[in-house]
Amino acid sequence: MTSKIQRALISVSDKTGIENFARALSQFGVEILSTGGTYAALEKAGVPVREVSQYTGFPEMMDGRVKTLHPKVHGGILALRDDAGHTGAMKAHDISGIDLVVVNLYPFESTVAKPGVTRADAIEQIDIGGPSMVRSAAKNHRFVGIVTEPDDYGRVLDDMQKREGELSDELRRELAAKAFALTARYDAAISRWMFERELEDGLADAAFPPSFAIAGVKELELRYGENPHQVAAFYRTSGFSEPSVASAEVLNGKALSYNNLIDLDAAHALAKEFDEPFVAVTKHNNPCGAAVAETIEAALEAAWAGDPLSAFGSVLAFTRPVNLAAATFLVEGNRFVEAIVAPSFDDDAFELLTKKPKWGKSVRLLACGKFGTGVRQERDIELKRLTGGFLLQGRDLSVAKPSDLETKTAKKPTESQVNDLLFAEKVAKHVKSNAIVLARGGRVLGVGAGQMSRVDAVRMAVHKAGDGVTSSVLASDAFFPFPDGVEAAVEAGVTALLQPGGSVRDEEVIAACDRLGASMVFTGQRHFRH
């Protein structure tokens, strides 16, 4: 059912384009009601507008907290125009129909994302009248249009132009669905923020609330998901200020795919373990190469050397701006990557990567801004979807320090071995379990990922390392259940091992190290990643 729009209520926090939109509505003969700052802006712009308080006969009060919560407003929005009882009540109480509601909400999400925001300031940005009007209009979308985004102003005007001042049923339904998504996201953000404050104040009884809602805004329609027969889209959540792939600026390349985004996020998460020049080379959600060095180009070369075969078509994460030396290394020979995320790209490096044949039109370049270990937000959560539910957990941000290591063998690791063990552990945290990482000199030599038995993960890592396994160190994400994994590693050339410990056969594993002349340290902390 359609009907001509005769009266619109406009009350927006984001005033982008509102003056032109209201002026166009007025030219259609639409009477405009408005409130507060929106009323002042429209009046100043010369748009014919009537203040809501004049319409209701009731003044705004309590610093604007009460202005639209009135029967003449919500009755005008909610009344069913084809119901005699409703239209009779409108006539009896002098309620005029409101046919279009244009509302966006107080900026709660952007407010709480600011550093140092007070609880009082955040609470004042919880909109009450706005969501009430949005929900009322969306519920009654058979008769009332609801517009919550400036991007939709043009569509509404086009539809009115085509239909002589009316809105189609199809557009009303679409706008109503979008409106309910907005209020759901808004309430989810408030709920989560309030629970986090309870945690900080020590008032929450558990780490997670009794109910949990997550909402996001669609950023990208993806060509497909993990496989071509799966549909997919990328949504960005609000209230998150940590540098991330989600917030990075895409500077170049083909459209990002589902798998690109997952790999970029995995590579970036590993890069956030390091403050020094570091490069992660990621393939299928696992690091196949990683290295720290004095310069970013040296780190790149060492990381690539960890597994040059797998590195082709990989995704890279840099902790420093990509410079010309790094870009030159990448475009030489038969190298190619799908995407790179870095703090930024030097101008000459960007030009080389975007102008080089085979690279320019394909490689995705993402600038995420400066970051390091200190940017990671501990209060953020990890979510894993199950059929019929989901799991929540805190982020695994912990890493061992030299003082956390407990030597279990007669032979103690050297200082350089300790440094390599701690480096390898940081990488192992980001390898699918069972995870084994071999390293030496601040670079990964071989990775064993996603194996059902730990000894097979060791064998895979040793195979990948090749001749480099000699005098390498090994980090395991979880304990060795049997001595066989240790024996396979040490017999291949590994000289020091790190693991959390905790197996009923720890003593057998330690004895195998002593028998073979290797050192082993325990961290007491597991880093499974399924």
Given CA atoms 27, 33, 39, 44 in this order, what sign does their dihedral have?
positive
Closest to 400 (Cα-Cα) out of 292, 489, 273: 273
Token digits of residue 108: 């709660």
Could you give the CA distance from residue 421 to residue 425 in angstroms, rounded to a whole number?
Answer: 6
Q: For residue 439, what pLDDT is reported?
A: 98
Q: Tell me the three state secondary structure of residue 337.
A: strand
Is the bond into 434 cis (omega within 30 degrees of 0)? yes
Distance CA 273, CA 282 (A): 15
Q: What is the pLDDT along the chain (530 residues), one digit of tens a residue?
A: 447 899 999 999 899 999 999 999 999 999 999 988 899 999 999 999 998 877 876 666 666 666 666 878 888 898 888 888 888 888 888 888 899 999 998 888 888 878 888 888 888 888 888 889 899 999 999 999 999 999 999 999 999 999 989 999 999 999 999 999 999 988 888 888 888 777 777 766 677 788 888 888 889 999 999 999 999 999 988 767 789 999 999 999 999 999 999 999 999 999 999 999 999 999 999 999 999 999 999 999 999 999 999 999 999 999 999 999 999 999 998 899 999 999 999 999 999 999 998 898 899 999 999 999 999 887 778 889 999 998 988 889 999 999 999 999 999 999 999 999 999 999 999 999 999 999 999 999 999 999 999 999 999 999 999 999 999 999 999 999 999 999 999 999 999 999 999 999 999 999 999 999 999 999 999 999 98
pLDDT of residue 19: 93
pLDDT of res. 70:
80
| Three-state secondary-structure class, residue 259 | helix
What is residue 257's DSSP assignment? P
Query: CA separation (Å) from 425 to 338, 475, 523, 528?
Result: 26, 5, 10, 12
User: Sign of the CA dihedral 82, 84, 85, 87?
Assistant: positive
Angstrom distances, CA of residue 513 to CA of 13, 360, 414, 489, 497: 66, 51, 15, 10, 9
Q: Rounded CA gap, 203 and 525, in Å?
A: 28
Q: Whose CA is closest to 509, among 409, 440, 414, 425? A: 409
**At 90, which amino acid appears?**
M
Q: What is the pLDDT of residue 1?
A: 46
Residues 6+ apart with CB under 8 A from 79: 86, 87, 89, 90, 95, 97, 140, 143
pTM comes to: 0.85
- HSE-CB at 17 with a 13 A cutoff on CA atoms is 15
Pick the CATH number of 402-522 from 3.40.50.2300, 3.40.50.300, 3.40.140.20, 2.60.120.10: 3.40.140.20
Calpha distance 372→370 (Å, rounded):
7
- And the tokens for 236? 């960005």
Residue 93's pLDDT is 87
Which pair of tokens denotes residue 7? 């009266």
Q: How far apart are CA 181 and CA 185, in angstroms?
A: 6
Cα–Cα dist 230/249, whole Å: 26
Containing 9, the helix (H) or strand (E) segment is strand 7-12
Q: How far from 439 is each of 290, 359, 489, CA to CA, in Å?
A: 9, 30, 12
Q: Any idea which fold 245-372 has?
A: Cytidine Deaminase; domain 2 (3.40.140)
Query: Whole-angstrom Cα distance, residue 177 to residue 48?
Result: 30
Q: What strands lie across the sheet with 314-318, from one edge to the other?
A: 249-252, 364-367, 337-342, 314-318, 278-283, 286-292, 443-448, 436-440, 473-476, 496-499, 519-522, 406-407
Helix (H) or strand (E) holding 499: strand 496-499
- Please give the positions annotated as active site: 139, 284
End-to-end, the C-alpha distance of the chain in Å comes to 51
pLDDT score for 80: 87
- Within the chain, which residue ranges are assigned CATH 3.40.140.20? 245-372, 402-522
Residue ranges of the chain assigned to CATH 3.40.50.1380:
7-193
What is the rounded distance in angstroms from the CA atom of residue 18 to the CA atom of residue 464?
60
Find out whether 215 and 184 touch, Cβ atoms under 8 Å: yes
| Contact between residue 469 and residue 460 where contact means Cβ atoms under 8 Å apart | no
Neighbours of 501 (CB within 10 A): 20
**CATH T-level assignment (fold) for domain 7-193:** Rossmann fold (3.40.50)
User: Are 428 and 458 contacting, i.e. CB atoms less than 8 angstroms apart?
Assistant: no
pLDDT reported for residue 72: 81
Distances (CA, A) of 407 to 185, 268, 412, 439, 528: 50, 32, 6, 19, 22
Q: CA-CA distance, 36 to 71, in Å (whole number)?
A: 19
